[in-house]
Amino acid sequence: MKVETRPLTEADLPAARICNRTAFSTFYGMPDPSAFRRGADVIGPRWRVWPEGAMAVDVDGSLAAVGLMMHWGSVCILGPLTVLPKYWNTGLARRIMTALVEVIEHEDFAFTGLFTHPQSPTHIRLYEDYGFVMQRIIAVMAKPPMAEKAPVGLALFSEAADPEGELDSMQALTHGIEPGLDLRREVRSIAAGGLGETLILRDDRGLAGFAVCHHGPDSEASEGQMLVKFAGAASGAQAPDRFARLLAAIESHAEQRNLAKVIVGTNVGRSETYRIMQDAGYITEMNGIAMMRPAAEGYNRPEKFAIDDWR
Ligand SMILES: CC(C)(COP(=O)(O)OP(=O)(O)OC[C@H]1O[C@@H](n2cnc3c(N)ncnc32)[C@H](O)[C@@H]1OP(=O)(O)O)[C@@H](O)C(=O)NCCC(=O)NCCS
């Protein structure tokens, strides 16, 4: 068996999608691979945002394993990592991890985070071997959007008169959540690919918050759903109120688009964020565990008002 590790290319995307669906549907015991996050594509959008952060392993010339990462400025998020089930337990995940860690080490990240299954000792052990340390639970939460009125000050990035100015304000806002945290690549990619919308919420002091939302074909959201990849409120005393308004903006946007469900995740270390989401009616559908390399709290702290999807 000839095994080769190499960068993932655009031509690999269809095979990488199959690898991802087959691996996860097998893991979850789903007989139909297309039923796993039906209609969602986490491979294409992620590869387009940061192709250099994606690796593949070929076995005898065909793709057998794939791993991607997200570049959020000073923060890297690793995942998803998948191996075709017929090759499980032959060391392919370790090959991908070795290659991804090499990419990470050439960048200047403050930390890399990942989302994994807290109930799986083998997943945890795999990542621990590469320097990741278990942190707190990430709650993936959901809610059918209620007929909220759009809050005052809501605008859409796709209609912005000064997109570069908006991107600068977003960068300043995320820098207040975590030094160097930068979602501009994600915002640009959604706009370029028509993968959803970035919501902009202003108040009398400027940008109060923004939400990077996937929905529709080719996006990371499942059919009929809206997936919030990242949303954050400007830090400070008014942050809880800004965050609650941002949640209302997210719901009103989903409602307008006739989407049946909003999917959002937060690390429970952001305890105030988690509480506001519970108060707003969000219910946890799945728990993951955050692992960090090096061990760090990052922005998973009570006074940080952010939601993000690390899956
Ligand atoms: C988890 C996964 C990537 C491991 O791939 P792999 O190539 O079999 O892993 P390796 O052979 O390199 O072995 C790495 C470790 O993973 C463990 N592992 C292998 N298959 C596994 C499975 N189905 N579930 C959990 N752990 C598994 C191995 O036991 C090994 O741990 P150990 O050596 O300490 O016992 C693969 O099983 C997979 O694609 N699973 C479904 C998708 C998934 O869960 N991805 C990770 C999301 S965080």
pTM: 0.96
* Residue numbers of the chain with a pLDDT score lower than 70: 147-148
Domain with CATH 3.40.630.30 in the chain: 3-109, 142-287+303-308
Whether CATH 3.40.630.30 fits 142-287+303-308: yes
Per-residue HEC secondary structure of the chain comes to: CCEEEEECCHHHHHHHHHHHHHHHHHHCCCCCHHHCCCCCCCHHHHHHHCHHHCEEEEECCEEEEEEEEEEEECEEEEEEEEECHHHCCCCHHHHHHHHHHHHHHHCCCCEEEEEECCCCHHHHHHHHCCCCEEEEEEEEEEECCCCCCCCCCEEEHHHCCCHHHHHHHHHHHHHHHCCCECCHHHHHHHHHHCCEEEEEEEECCEEEEEEEEECCCCCCCCCCEEEEEEEEECCCCCHHHHHHHHHHHHHHHHHHCCCCEEEEEEECCCHHHHHHHHHCCCEEEEEEEEEEECCCCCCCCCCCCEEECCC
**The pLDDT of residue 150:** 87
**The pLDDT of residue 297:** 96
The residue whose CA is least distant from atom 10 of ligand 1 is: 91
Q: State the closest ligand 1 atom to the C-alpha of 84, by its place in the atom list counted from 1.
A: 39
Mutate to test the pocket of ligand 1, among 55, 126, 140, 311 (most ligand atoms within 8 A of CB): 126
**The pLDDT of residue 149:** 83
Q: Residue 124 Cα, ligand 1 centroid: separation in angstroms?
A: 10
Q: Residue 119 Cα, ligand 1 centroid: separation in angstroms?
A: 13
The residue whose CA is least distant from atom 48 of ligand 1 is: 116
Ligand 1 surroundings by CB, under 6 angstroms:
23-24, 27, 79-83, 88-94, 116, 120, 122-123, 125-126
Mutate to test the pocket of ligand 1, among 27, 46, 70, 89 (most ligand atoms within 8 A of CB): 89
Q: Residue 123 Cα, ligand 1 centroid: separation in angstroms?
A: 6
Q: Residue 89 Cα, ligand 1 centroid: separation in angstroms?
A: 6
CATH topology of domain 3-109: Aminopeptidase (3.40.630)
Q: State the closest ligand 1 atom to the C-alpha of 97, by its place in the atom list counted from 1.
A: 12
**The pLDDT of residue 148:** 66
